[in-house]
Structure formats: C-alpha cells, structure tokens
Structure 1
Amino acid sequence: MDKEKLAIHGGQPIRDHYLPYGRQVINDDDINSVISILRSDFITTGPTIEQFEREIAEYTGAKFAVAFSSGTAALHGACFAAGIGKGDEVITTPMTFAATSNCILYQGGKPVFVDIDPKTYNLNSSLIKEKITKKTKAIIPVHFTGQPADLECISKIAKENNLILIEDAAHALGAKYKNKNIGSIGDMTMFSFHPVKHITTGEGGIITTNNEDFYQKLLQFRSHGIVRAKEMLIENHGPWYYEMQSLGFNYRLTDIQAALGISQLKKLDSYIARRKQIADFYNKEFKSMNEISLPFQEVQGDSSWHLYIIKLQSSKLTGNRKEIYEALQKENIGVNVHYIPVYHHPYYQTLGYKFGTCTVAEKCYEEFITLPLHAGMSDQDSMDVVNAVKKVINYFSRRN
C-alpha cells in the first residue's frame, strides 16, 4: 500500500499545507465588534443579543428570532415549543448530523426516519405520508448542503395532518425556496452558527418563527423556563420577582457571540456569493468526469452551498472509498463525509433501529465525499482541490 500511495502522490502532495473542508472567515471588523462588547457593561444577557435576533429576523423575513447557545440547543427549544413529548413521533431524515434526531429524543419523542431523494439527498417528500400515524407530532426536514427541501409538498402534508413543521436549516442560512427566504416558511426554522457554517458566533444557533406563542415558549426554554414579564406572572411579589413556569435550560447566547454574529451577518451575502463561485468552478471542472456525479441543482430552490459533495459512480471506486479519502487527505485536501446515517450509530442501534431502514441514504453514505468549500478559499485553493480530485480519481479508476 505504501508503494501505491507513493504512486498516487508522485512523492509530493499537491499542497504544502492543509485545506479544511470548512472554516470561519474572521477579519478586523469582527474582532473590533467583539472588543467593543468586552469593554461594555454587558457581556451576556444584554441588548446585543436582541439586536442580533432582530437582524436575523429581518434578514430571513420572519417576525421573531430567538438565539441559543448552539444549533442543537435551538432545535431542542423548537421541539419543546412544538410540544413534543413522551411517545410522540417525529418524521425526519437519516442524512443529517445526529443532533437533528437527538433533539426529538431529548423530549421523549421517537424519531421516524424517512429515506432521502436520490437526486437532492433531501427528505423524500413522496414517502412521508406512509410514515404518518396517530402519534406523529411534527416533521423535521433538513436542507441538506444548503439546498432547500421540497417545502411546498412537506408544508401541505403538515397542514393536512395538523403537524408542526420544524426546518433544520443549519446548512441553509441565505438559501431561498421559490423566492422565499428559508426561515420565513415553516412553523420554526433553526440556523447554526458553528465555525464551518456561513457565518459564525463561535458556537450558537437561532430559531426563527412567525408564531408568537412559539416565540414566548422559546424565550422561556432557553433561560430555565423563567418568566419576568408582569403580564405573564401567576403572582407578583414586587419588581424583583420572576417565576419558573416550565422546566427549561441554560441555553443562552452571550453578547460577545452576538456581536460577532452581527458583524458576520453584514458579510453573509458576499460569503454565499463566493461559495457559489467555487461551486460553479467545481461543476465546470468536474463536468467531464464520468467517475463522479455532481450535486443536483434544484430548480425550485436557491442553495446557499454549505457543502459540495461528489458521489463515486462505480463499484470499483466505492470499494476503494476509504483509500480515496486517505489519498486526498495526503494531498492536504481536507475532505470529509456527510453523513453517517443517524440510525447506524451504536446508540440508535440500542434503541431498536435497524440497518436497511433507508436504503438510498445508506447507499449514498458509501459513495459520498465532501470537498472543501468556504468563503475564505482562494482561486488557487479551488484549483488545488480540482487537481487533487482528478489525480486521485484517475489513479483509482486505472488501477486493476
């Protein structure tokens, strides 16, 4: 194997330093925004959080936004606000990070996995109805890679069956579906601000909603279930008084993080534009490579391009996916794989989930490789990725 690796690399990697698949872009404006908060009176639970929430709501076109300490915490809050509880079923996709379905479990609910569309890799809307039972409470589609799911169909199914639609848009800040901003469509929508996402607050997440009842529940949930507004108190002992009216969590974002988010949000559109440029370049360069298939372009949606995933097309290549992955890493190209189907994880196996539940998702998992894509990449970075992919794929395609 060492000789084979040497043959692939010709003794020298394409890059002399590592290019991660995703990373934050931080400049002096961001740093100065954070410094200004560190010098202010509030570094947490202050006015900057509310400003960030207002600006996210305005950007997405939602009435309300509630910031959380992480995308996972935000999605947990949405499941709480939706009233998901013990025995309730929630339909979702296995092609996602485990947090999507974990948040259902946190509330005592049961994730019901529906297979993905073989083109878009999003939740296959044509399979949802057969999974709905009397116990079904909500649907959580994931806008995988930043490409919007089939919201028209999913929304219709949700309304017909009195289900709550919670969008996991961790990948999709800035995406559009039929000219509507993601974040303004479903009952609640979650965005993530992890450093590999479009903008970052370090860690952080947010829920947008047009429903005031959900909004109030989200506010309580992120802060121990505590209520301070006079009109919502059951009793009132004085101006200091507050009440814990539900079992919530300490899921608050800090003003330090919110300041970074506000600064980052100003650059979001330019970041997405850069991601699209890189994706277009990849599409052009890989178009003639029959050994791989490229991301499907959904005509009804405008992707925000969080991830760029190629799919290996032959059994010869999929059988060597691990070696291909390692070879690209040795070229200093930080490839990844998104995602291991959630129910493959050992914990989910202990809950009774079985392999073979979603065969399309399982097959795609064996064929996927995620390439670097982030706004901080240079043209040379993009070319290095293309050259490395062509070099490695061509080698494995020719190898007996």
Structure 2
Amino acid sequence: MIFTYLLRKYIRQITINPYPTIGLDEIKIAIIGLFKEEKKDYCNLFENRFSNYLGVKYSLSFGKGRIGLYAILTSLGIKQGDEVLVPGYTCVVVPNAIIYTGAKPVYYDVGINTFNPLVSDMKKKITFKTKAIIIHHLFGQPAEIDEIKKVSDLYHIPVIEDCAQALGAEYKGKKVGTFFDFGFFSFDYTKNITTGQGGIVVVKDKKNFEKMKAIQQCCKKPSNLFVFWHLLNIIRYRLFLNQSVYFFGLPLIYLIDLVCKMIGLFNTTITKDELNAEKPNCFMIKMHNIFAKIGLEQLKKIDLFNKVRINNAMRLDEELKKLNIETPHIIKNVKHIYLRYALCFKERQKLINLFRRNQVDVGCWFDSPIYPLKENMSLYGYDKGNCPNADKISKEMINLPTHSDMNYHDIKRIINILKFHKKIVGI
C-alpha cells in the first residue's frame, strides 16, 4: 500500500470535500481559540447575520444541524405514536432525530433524476398519524417547492426543510430554508461553509421561535475536548489536505489521528450510538462561541464559494455532454449551488477505482438509502423496496468535486479519465 502511494501518477490530489473553504482568517481564529476563550457573544451575532443573509427574522444556532432538527421535532410536540415523513435517500442522522422523539420515520421515494422529493409518493405515505414532513434540497438543488406547498396546504402538515447541502440555493429567486415552517442547516467539513461543527435552524413565526429558543437555552455547552478536537481539525485539514500538499499531508493526518486515538481525543462525525439508532450522551449541545466566530468569516465568502461551484459545474456540463454522458437534471426556476456534482453509473465501482488510480477523490453520497448504513436499515424502519428509486440510485451514485480549490487542469483531468476509459466504465 505504501509502495503504491509513493508510485502515484500525480502529486496533486483532487479532493471531494471542500476543506479549501477554510482560509487563513479562520485558521487564525482557531489557533487563538485553542488557548483563549472569547468573551463576545458571537453566536447571537452569527444568528443575526445568517438571518440577514436569508432574509428572515429568526435563526437559532445549535451544536450540530441534527440537533437543530431534533429541537424542531420536539417543539412541534412530536412523540411516540406519531409519524414523520422523510426522504428515503438521506443521512442516518435525519431519521435518528425522529426516532429520538419516539416517533416513526416513514420514507417516501425521491425522483430518479433529481434525487429530491417525489411528491406523488409523498402524498401516498400521508396518514392521520403524519405530524410533519421533512424535505431536502440534495446536492444543492432546491426541491419542487410549489408542489410540496400544495401538499402542505391540503393536509395542514408542517414542512421542515433539510438545507444541509444547499446554503445559498434559490427557488424562484428566494433562498431555501425560508419557504416553510422550519429550515435547518449544517456546517460540518463536508458542507459549502464550515464552522468545524455546528448548525442553524430558521424559524418562520415568533411563536415557534420562542418554543425553539427555550429548547436552545436548555442545551449544554460543548465539552472542552469536543471544541479542542474540532479546532484542531480546522487547522490540520487546511494545512495538510490542501490539494497541492496532499501527497505529504495525508500521512501526517493519519499520524495525528493515530496519536489522538491513543490519548482518547479522536471524535467521529457520526458516533457508534447514532449508527445503532441510539441517542448519544450529551447530544443536546449549543454552538460554541468560537465556532460561531469562524462561521461569521465563512458567511462572508459563501456567495463566492457558490459562484465557483456553479462555474465548475458548468464546465463539467459542457465537457460531459461532448462525451454523451448524461448531466444532472435541473428543474426550472432554481439556482443549483452544486455542493457536489451528482451522476449515476451502472459500473460505479470500476469508475471509482479508476479515479483513485489517478488521484481523484470521488464521493458516494449516498451509496445506501440511509447513509452510511449498509445493513440493519430495518432498525430505522426502512426495508428494501420501500423506495425503489432510492434503492437504484444508491447503487449507481457518484459525486464529482466542484469546490473552490478546483482549477481548469483538475476538471480536465477528470474529463480525460472518462474520455480515455469509456469502455472500462461502461459509458
């Protein structure tokens, strides 16, 4: 394995995750934050700036986006015996939030081309037990808002927007997260801006805001260990996983991880409890002040980041069409911000292996209907066949990177891999 690594074809690694969104300003904040606690209330300031960005009145920060979702469900009084509709193509933390309330997640299918809510199937899954509907804007493309509004208005069911992958995306000129009763956002390392860890909930009316505020105030401050680990990640990811130094940086990342595991510092994004539908200890935590300060810096750059992603996606569109490869299906009246460029290939694993041999990281969001689970999905109420489109997509999905560290030569390398190996990958 080490020998293969040293004989790699390219020194420059093309990465899938947007670690380059972390700039020198954020690194400076993180380094100072390791040794000095901020007195200023950056959480409140971040919430206000976030509200201004979306054009809404009420925003509330939480330790993670999934915590914000759980707080929303709690504020709605959702409990045992209730049902919450959720896309059958999602991350495990979403149905977990439902399960933690005692309610049952009920899965509806997604569009075979858009990967977003299939409204016709959503309507079929509604019963008298349905107390909320979660929708998502996957990969940065807004869902079909008008059609979902018709369902919400007809059945008088609150809708929660999962905007974890779509900050800055728009439907008919209006930003996602602002159309329904609630919207929630995530800021971990895989998103288009990051605070290290954190999330925000957008609330439409004052009554719901006050309920949510009471829940937020009951949240505990994250542990010093949690804060230290994520500040360390902000620093090391930017310094060592930059595409130009990745060849030298990756071994250092592995070494730091090994040392951190030995001293009990290592912290995973999704815990073992969460992979077993169990609520972790100390789950309900606030966003730390230092993470909010980093978020303020990141928020200044979000429109630029999204512009670069859109431009990179347009280049991919142009080149892939020349190869007769089907490009992402975009619905009318949307601004897709392309957190990732999503494609489906029947020979997915061959293609992944091919990219790896050429030092290109590609993503598999999501290679199972309840990501990252490969088995025991029935523990979450999902059985094979519940959502046929999601089952099919999860076997074929691959994501290409679009982030701001991508340059013309990176995109050309990706295209050439596809161009010169069409027979191998079955395209």
Which bin holds the TM-score, normalised by the shorter protein? 0.7 to 0.9
Matches within 5 A, 1:138-287: 138-224=132-218, 250-287=284-321
1:391 to partner: Cα distance? 3.2
User: For 2:422 and 2:185, how far apart are their aligned partners in 1?
Assistant: 34
The yes-or-no answer on 1:293 pairing with 2:326 is yes
Q: Distance in 1 between matches of 2:31 and 2:8?
A: 40
* Distance in 2, Cα, partners of 1:300 & 1:361: 24
**Aligned CA distance change for structure 1 residues 392 and 88 (closer, same or farther; 3 Å):** farther
Q: 1:119 to 1:130 in 2, by over 3 A?
A: same
Secondary structure of the structure 2 residue equivalent to 1:285: helix
- In 2: Cα distance, 1:54 partner to 1:74 partner: 17
Which of 359, 365, 370 is matched with 1:342 structurally? 370
User: Is the alpha carbon distance of 1:14 and 1:286 closer, same or farther for their aligned partners in structure 2, counting shifts above 3 Å?
Assistant: farther
Q: CA deviation at 1:73?
A: 1.2
Q: Which moved more, 1:23-32 or 1:63-72?
A: 23-32
* CA deviation map 1:361-390 (0-9, x unaligned): 111122211112212222222222222233
Which residue in 2 is equivalent to 1:373? 402
Q: Verify the 8 A CA contact 2:104 2:381 in the aligned structure 1.
A: no
Separation of aligned partners in 2, 1:225 and 1:373: 35
- Is 1:131 the counterpart of 2:131? The answer is no
TM-score by length of 2: 0.78
C-alpha RMSD of the superposition: 2.4
Range moving further from structure 2, 376-385 or 328-337: 376-385
Q: Counterpart of 1:361 in structure 2: which amino acid?
A: A
User: Residues of 1 paired with 2:322 and 2:77: CA distance?
Assistant: 50
Which of 16, 24, 28 is equivalent to 2:11?
16
After TM superposition, the score normalised by the length of structure 1 is: 0.83
Q: Which residue of 2 aligns with 1:305?
A: 338
Q: Which amino acid is 1:219 matched to?
A: K
Matched-pair contact (CA < 8 Å) for 2:95–2:380: no
1:89-128 matched pairs, under 5 angstroms: 89-128=83-122
Segments of 5+ residues of structure 2 without an aligned counterpart are 221-281
Query: 1 CA distance for matches of 2:67 and 2:318?
Result: 39
- Which residue number in structure 2 is paired with residue 233 of structure 1? none
Does 2:316 correspond to 1:325? no
- Partner residue of 1:28 out of 3, 9, 24: 24
Q: Work out the CA distance in 2 between the residues paired with 1:271 and 1:137.
A: 36
Alignment of 1:59 onto 2:53: yes
Question: Which residue pairs with 1:3 in the alignment?
Answer: none
Aligned residue type for 1:120: T
Assess if the C-alpha contact under 8 Å between 1:76 and 1:104 holds in 2. Answer: yes
Deviation at 1:36, TM superposition (A): 6.6
3-state SS of the aligned residue for 1:370? strand
Counterparts of 2:348 and 2:142 in 1: how far apart (Å)? 28
- Looking at structure 1, the residues matched to 381 and 46 of structure 2 have their Cα atoms a distance apart, in angstroms, of 41
Structure number with bigger Rg: 1
CA contact (8 A) 1:89 1:112 kept: yes
> Structure 2 CA distance, aligned partners of 1:203 and 1:163?
30
Q: Aligned pair in 2 of structure 1 residues 55, 38: CA closer, same or farther (>3 Å)?
A: farther
Mapping of 1:40-55 within 5 angstroms? 42=38, 47-55=41-49
Separation (CA, whole Å) in 2 of partners of 1:40 and 1:397:
55
Q: Indicate the SS of the match to 1:293.
A: coil
Q: Which has the higher helix share?
A: 2
The residue type paired with residue 346 of structure 1 is E
Change in 2 beyond 3 A, CA 1:351/1:38: closer
The one-letter code sitting in structure 2 at the alignment partner of 1:259 is K
Give 2:180's aligned amino acid: G
Partner residue, 1:397? 426
Size of the aligned set, in residue pairs, is 359
Unpaired runs of 5+ residues, structure 1, are 1-5, 7-11, 227-247, 313-317
Amino acid in the other structure paired with 1:123:
P
Whether the 8 Å CA contact 2:219–2:285 is kept in 1: the answer is no
For 1:342, give the aligned amino acid. I
**Aligned residue identity for 2:305:** Y
Helix, strand or coil at the partner of 2:84:
strand
Aligned amino acid, residue 375 of structure 1: S
Which amino acid in the other structure matches residue 31 of structure 1? I
% identical equivalent positions: 30
> What do the CA deviations read for 1:237-284 (whole angstroms, capped 9, x no partner)?
xxxxxxxxxxx9642011110111000100110000000010001000
Quote how far apart the aligned CAs of 1:392 are.
Answer: 3.6
